[in-house]
Structure 1
Amino acid sequence: MTFTVIGDPAQVREVMRRTGDFAPTNALTSVVPLAPATLRILSRVRFALPPVLASATGERHRAVRTLVGRFFTPAKVAAIAPRVRELARARLDVAAAALRHGPVDLADAVARHIPPLIMAELTGQPTPDLDVLKRWSRDSLELFWGWPDTDRQQVLAHSAAEFYAWLREEAAASRGTASLFGVLDAAGLSQPEVCSLGYFLVIAGQETTSQLINTALYRGIESDVGTGPWSALAEPARAQAHVRRVLATESSVHTWRRAALHDTTLDGTCLPAGAEILLELSGRHPDDAGPTAYSLAFGHGLHRCLGARLAELETALVVEETAAALPGLRPAGPPPAWLRLLSFQAPLTVTAAQGAP
């Protein structure tokens, strides 16, 4: 697949604003075509991803967005902050005990645990066992945003089918409840539509936030962050500034896709109908871009991420609490391997030890 890459932040915003010219219809399309054997595995669970939120447009999209947005209002996000701190401190107690015996992977000990619990509490939707949820999430990201060969696709498809079957069961069990799936069902969304929304919302609501926490912790520990040493990030304002810098430079969701609906132009460049466009959301802001440069990491306009405020809050609080609890952290071991997909990136581990190297 060939993309027209748009990196200039002003042009990225323009593409996202011009919904009559550029649509998100390709946002959730697999980067590589899925092989017939892969599709057969998915079809056995009636896997379907009708456009509902991230890949939808028009009045239907707005209506669903309003329903989902009610679970992530500014007031609800602010009210969940003490719970984020509580969970972070509990995980950091475990990490501190383990650090007495050697290096600890903070991605495994801290970052992966908090976003799924917060997501479940805000939406009223239970999540599966953490290890299963993480496997499903990462496999689905690779299936749709990676470059798996046919054999690897089939492994990932079995995982995606398990995830989808679980979503169907949850959608049925949620009817008549005040949970997110129950509200969507009551609003008239079909089960495939509820599952389609849930498939990526469950991932976006926790996996990409865990990835962002990984990057923020890693960059905070491995180098001077520009606002002082690692321990200085225990100060809330500095933790927030650090997270916003990470969002502007290497967000966990660093690109997103659009497609040209018809022949059009962008800053004098002709784009034919159907052109596949890759928008760079992170890493292209100049140093003097201003205090809101980080916000483009969450998109812009009608498709701006509904969980933007939550993801930033969770990450800043985890960084703050970690720096306060473990001010003497230093990197340990070799540099981490990174997840590198078309639209997602993060260090897979954040291994640290206590004390001077």
Structure 2
Amino acid sequence: MATLATETQGIVDPLDMSRPELYRDDTWHAPFRELREKAPIYYTEHSGFGPFWSVSTYKPIVQIESLPEIFSSEAGGITIADMAEGDIKMPMFIAMDRPKHTGQRRTVAPAFTPSEMVRMSDNIRTRTAEILDSLPVGQEFDWVDRVSIELTTQMLAILFDFPWEDRRKLTYWSDWAGDIEMAKDPVMKEKRREILFECAAYFGNLWQGKIGKEPTPDLISMMIHSDAMAHMDQMEFLGNLILLIVGGNDTTRNSMSAYAWGLNQFPEERAKLEANPGLIANATQEIIRWQTPLAHMRRTATQDTEVDGVKIREGDKLALWYVSANRDESVFPDGDKIMVERENARRHLAFGHGIHRCVGARLAELQIGILMEEMARRRLRVNVLAEPERVAACFVHGYRQMRAELSHY
């Protein structure tokens, strides 16, 4: 299976899917298609992040995610960027194995139950309506900044009971925390360290302000009043904050941008959705699948094993390419196309699989669905005016800017 020729040191491997320009230029489709066809589990010997296995199809990713004792999240972290000596160590529950993962996940899970989604839905709808009503029709603006970032940042501020006037700090911290390319640059790594400590200090003050107070339905209060997280040290607190900020910000925001960009690319599918708003719930899943806002998660083998006949050694690093599995033709025919009526859209792996499946998935779906419902209620269409500016990285798969204008249909 993993028999494709690996390039020698110093020569770029065309199937090294960690290269940031593939995502910046949106040219990742063809090499992933080649991997899925010829080497679904492929050894990349030379990359900017060291050697790793690329797992690019649906079935083996589900298998690996279903065996967390063999394929650890904790041993090497959740991205293919390795920790180096002197790096900030930020434990977070997504990068923990059982049993510690279980206790910490249970602490924050009550914020995302179906009853909480019902409680929050009116608030989300009101804020979404306010933002859409503030946008100019027929005039150019940046959809990423005015809609995607603003909606998700407002939601995060509510989840954390964060000072409203400072909410854009959450976006700033998220952008720095989620950029794994900085692992290659000592200067940027140091700058990142300073910014993350600024984040920790700010949240530390919020934590202190809630100690001894009655429980409230925000994430910081939930942490304080839980046995599993009440006694975290500063780095573990910071790690879990970063997880919740990046998870709640980058993923939802980039799916909201994909709604605008993706439907612009497939006008016949957009027409179906505009004619039948009853398709919005399914279209939400399809857009999340098509975008896949986190391109990969990393696992580390804890023992010698095999996956689909390929020998994996203890300590090997595996990149689980969700962005490719969600295009796996054996599961999603015509996977490069948005199909708002796709019957199995919900089977996507954009939220992961198994014990680490995204704890906030329901909230992301709710936010994206409400945005589409409120656009439909106003009979508004997003017209993208130019190729968007994309994130140049193999972890967060998203957009930095998207020039657009609204029209009525």
Identity %: 19
How far does residue 168 in structure 1 lie from its aligned partner after superposition? 2.5
How far does residue 280 in structure 1 lie from its aligned partner after superposition? 1.6
- Hey, what's the Cα distance between the residues in 2 that align with 1:322 and 1:290? 23
Which residue is equivalent to 2:41? none
Which residue is equivalent to 1:17? 66
Residues 52-201 of structure 1 mapped to structure 2, 5 A cutoff: 52-95=92-135, 98-100=136-138, 102-124=139-161, 126=163, 129-142=166-179, 144=180, 148-177=184-213, 178=215, 179-186=218-225, 187=227, 188-192=230-234, 193-201=236-244
| Structure 1 residue identity aligned to 2:360 | G
More helix by share: 1
How far does residue 4 in structure 1 lie from its aligned partner after superposition? 0.6
- Verify the 8 A CA contact 1:262 1:274 in the aligned structure 2: yes
Residues 36-51 of structure 1 mapped to structure 2, 5 A cutoff: 39=87, 48-50=89-91
- Hey, what's the Cα distance between the residues in 1 that align with 2:165 and 2:81? 27
- Structure 1 pair 225/309, CA: closer, same or farther in 2 (3 Å)? farther
- Structure 1 pair 33/20, CA: closer, same or farther in 2 (3 Å)? closer
Query: What secondary structure is seen at the aligned counterpart in 2 of 1:15?
Result: helix
Bigger mean CA deviation after superposition, 198-207 or 188-197: 188-197
| Structure 2 residue identity aligned to 1:175 | I
- Verify the 8 A CA contact 1:331 1:353 in the aligned structure 2: yes
- Hey, what's the Cα distance between the residues in 1 that align with 2:379 and 2:142? 13
- Verify the 8 A CA contact 2:296 2:321 in the aligned structure 1: yes
Query: What secondary structure is seen at the aligned counterpart in 1 of 2:243?
Result: helix
- Verify the 8 A CA contact 1:106 1:350 in the aligned structure 2: yes
- Verify the 8 A CA contact 1:85 1:317 in the aligned structure 2: yes
Which residue is equivalent to 2:251? 208
Query: What secondary structure is seen at the aligned counterpart in 2 of 1:58?
Result: coil
One of 279, 282, 285 as aligned partner of 2:320:
279
Which residue is equivalent to 2:5? none
How far does residue 16 in structure 1 lie from its aligned partner after superposition? 0.7
Q: Give the gaps of 5 or more residues in structure 1.
A: 40-46
- Verify the 8 A CA contact 1:108 1:349 in the aligned structure 2: yes
- Hey, what's the Cα distance between the residues in 2 that align with 1:329 and 1:18? 42
- Verify the 8 A CA contact 2:256 2:368 in the aligned structure 1: yes
Tell me the TM-score normalised to structure 2 length: 0.75
- Structure 1 pair 169/223, CA: closer, same or farther in 2 (3 Å)? same
Which residue is equivalent to 1:346? 398
- Structure 1 pair 88/182, CA: closer, same or farther in 2 (3 Å)? closer
| Structure 2 residue identity aligned to 1:150 | P
- Structure 1 pair 230/351, CA: closer, same or farther in 2 (3 Å)? farther
How far does residue 284 in structure 1 lie from its aligned partner after superposition? 2.7
- Verify the 8 A CA contact 1:171 1:195 in the aligned structure 2: no
How far does residue 195 in structure 1 lie from its aligned partner after superposition? 2.7
- Structure 1 pair 29/107, CA: closer, same or farther in 2 (3 Å)? closer
| Structure 1 residue identity aligned to 2:125 | R
Alignment coverage as a number of residue pairs: 339
How far does residue 34 in structure 1 lie from its aligned partner after superposition? 5.3
How far does residue 232 in structure 1 lie from its aligned partner after superposition? 4.1
- Verify the 8 A CA contact 2:389 2:399 in the aligned structure 1: yes
How far does residue 290 in structure 1 lie from its aligned partner after superposition? 5.0
Which residue is equivalent to 2:53? 4
Q: Give the gaps of 5 or more residues in structure 2.
A: 1-49, 334-341
How far does residue 120 in structure 1 lie from its aligned partner after superposition? 3.6
Q: CA RMSD in A?
A: 2.6
How far does residue 184 in structure 1 lie from its aligned partner after superposition? 2.1
- Hey, what's the Cα distance between the residues in 1 that align with 2:164 and 2:97? 28
Query: What secondary structure is seen at the aligned counterpart in 2 of 1:258?
Result: strand
Which residue is equivalent to 2:77? 27
Deviations 1:63-121 (A, max 9, x none): 111111011101111332222111111001111xx335x21112111111222332343
- Hey, what's the Cα distance between the residues in 1 that align with 2:221 and 2:378? 39
Query: What secondary structure is seen at the aligned counterpart in 1 of 2:297?
Result: strand
- Hey, what's the Cα distance between the residues in 2 that align with 1:223 and 1:311? 23
- Structure 1 pair 149/122, CA: closer, same or farther in 2 (3 Å)? closer
- Structure 1 pair 135/227, CA: closer, same or farther in 2 (3 Å)? closer
- Hey, what's the Cα distance between the residues in 1 that align with 2:54 and 2:121? 37
Which residue is equivalent to 2:269? 226
Tell me the TM-score normalised to structure 1 length: 0.85
| Structure 2 residue identity aligned to 1:336 | P
